[in-house]
Amino acid sequence: MMDDFTFTVAATDGTARTGAITNPRGTIRTPAFMPVGTAGTVKAMYPEQVRSLGADIVLGNTYHLMLRPGAERVAELGGLHRMMNWPHPILTDSGGFQVMSLSKLRKLDENGVTFQSHIDGRRYSLTPERSLEIQDLLGSDIQMQLDECVRLPCTEAESERAMRLSLRWAERSRQAFGNKPGRAVFGIVQGGEVEAQRIESARALAEMDFHGLAIGGLAVGEPQDVMLRMIETVEPHLPTMKPRYLMGVGTPDDILESVRRGVDMFDCVMPTRAGRHGQAFTRFGKLNLRNARHADDTRPIDEASSCPAARDYSRAYLHHLVKSGEILGMMLLTWVNLAYYQDLMAGIRAAIAEGRFDDFVGETKAGWVKPE
C-alpha cells in the first residue's frame, strides 16, 4: 500500500491527458467518471456491479450523509467504505452544492451555512471546518473544501461575492484538513461566467497547496459553450501536475469536450437518474424506452455490448418494465448507462495514449443518432 496521494500524467494529446491518481485504497485511472453514490449507494446498482464496469472511485454526499444516518454513526460503523462495502477510493463533496440547491432552507454568512433539514426540519450548521470533520468521519479519500455555488446566470457582483467567500472558506478548509497521509483535499474554482473572476480564483487556490483543484459552479443552468469557455479560461492557471475535476458534469458530449480541454475527473447523476426514468445512453445515442416504438422491438439495446443488460434483454421487455414501473427496469437501464459511461472513459484513455483523441471524438459523435 502506498502512503501518499500522487498524480501522474502518462500521456497527452493536445490539452487532453491520461494518467493515474494513486492512494492507499487503489489507483484511479484518468480521465475518470465517478458514479454518484449520494447516500452511500449508487442507486439501483450493487457495489460489485459498479466496480465490474470499470469504476475506480465513487462519490458520496456530505450533506445527505450528515443528515442520515449521521457522520458520527458512519464512523462508529467502521466508515463509509466498510458500511457500503466499497473498499476502493471514495470522494465526498463538501455540501456546498446544497448551499445553492436548498437555498430556501438555509442561511449563509461568513462563518458557514445553517441548514434546515429537508427530512425533519432540524437545523444543522455547516462550516468549512465542520464539513472537513464530517468528511473525515466518513473516511473519504478525496475531500472537498466548502464553497458557495451560485446558479447561472447571475450578476457579476453576485458571482464575485460568492467567489471571494469561497476563497476565504478555502483557506479555512485547507487549514482544517491539515496533513492526512494517503488522503487529499481539493479546492474549488468559482467565479460564475466572468473570466477575470475565474482566473483570480484559480490562481489563489493554486497557491494554497491543495492536492487537486475542481472547477465548480458550472452545469448549473448555463449553455455548454459558456461552460467550455470557462474551462478554457481556467486551465492555463491550474497546476499541471495536479488533477482537475469538473464537478457535476455531465453528458457524454460534455465529457468529451471537457477532456479535450484538460479535465481529468467527472461526476454526474445523469446516467443513474436517466436509467430510473427509462432512458438509455448507448453508442448509438440516447434511447427513450418509454417510447411506443419499442413495444414490439425484439432487438437488444446493443447486441455487441459487454454489458448483459444492454445485450441480453429486448427493447420490448425493457419498454414493458419501464411502462409498468417495475424496479428491474430501473436497475437494468442504470446498468446500461453506467456501462456506457465507463466504456466511454476507457475509450478516451486509450485514444489519448495512442495520440488519436480527436479521431476518437469524431468517431464517437458520428455514431450518435437522433435520440428516440
Q: Give bridge partners of residue 125 from the DSSP assignment.
A: 114
Give the Cβ contact number of residue 149 at 10 Å.
Answer: 23
What pTM value is reported for the model? 0.96
Q: Per the structure block, which three cell numbers stand in for 366?
A: 458520428
pLDDT score for 363: 98
Quote the cell numbers at residue 343.
466504456
Annotated binding site: 93-97, 147, 190, 217
Q: What is the DSSP string of 34-64?
A: EEB-TTSS-TT--HHHHHHTT---EEE-HHH
pLDDT at site 1: 37
Q: Please, where in the chain does CATH 3.20.20.105 lie? A: 7-267
CATH code of the domain made up of 7-267 = 3.20.20.105
Catalytic site positions:
93, 267
**Strand runs labelled E in 240-294:** 244-246, 265-268, 279-282, 285-288
Report which secondary-structure segment, H or E, holds 100: helix 96-101
CA angle 69–72–75, rounded 5-degree value = 95
- Residue 196: is it exposed, middle or buried by C-beta count within 10 angstroms (0-12/13-18/19+)? exposed
Q: What is the pLDDT along the chain (372 residues), one digit of tens a residue?
A: 346 999 999 999 999 999 999 999 999 999 999 999 999 999 999 999 999 999 999 999 999 999 999 999 999 999 999 999 999 999 999 987 776 666 566 788 999 998 788 788 888 889 999 999 999 999 999 999 999 998 899 999 999 999 999 999 999 999 999 999 999 999 999 999 999 999 999 999 999 999 999 999 998 889 999 999 999 999 999 999 999 999 999 999 999 999 999 999 999 999 999 999 999 999 999 999 999 999 999 999 999 999 999 999 999 999 999 999 999 999 999 999 999 999 999 999 999 999 999 999 999 999 998 655
* CB-based contact 185:215 (threshold 8 Å): no
- Enumerate the known binding-site residues for substrate: 93-97, 147, 190, 217
| Rounded-to-integer distance, Cα 267 and Cα 213, Å | 14
Largest CA distance in the chain: 60
> Per residue in 168-181, is it b (16+ CB within 10 Å) or e — as a string?
ebbebbbebbeeee
Distance linking the first and last C-alpha atoms of the chain: 47
Rounded to whole angstroms, how far apart are CA atoms 247 and 266? 6
Q: What confidence score (pLDDT) does residue 264 get? A: 99
- Residue 2 is predicted with a pLDDT of 43
Going by C-alpha positions, the residue among 273, 274, 250 that lies closest to residue 263 is 250
- Partnered with residue 311 across adjacent β-strands are none
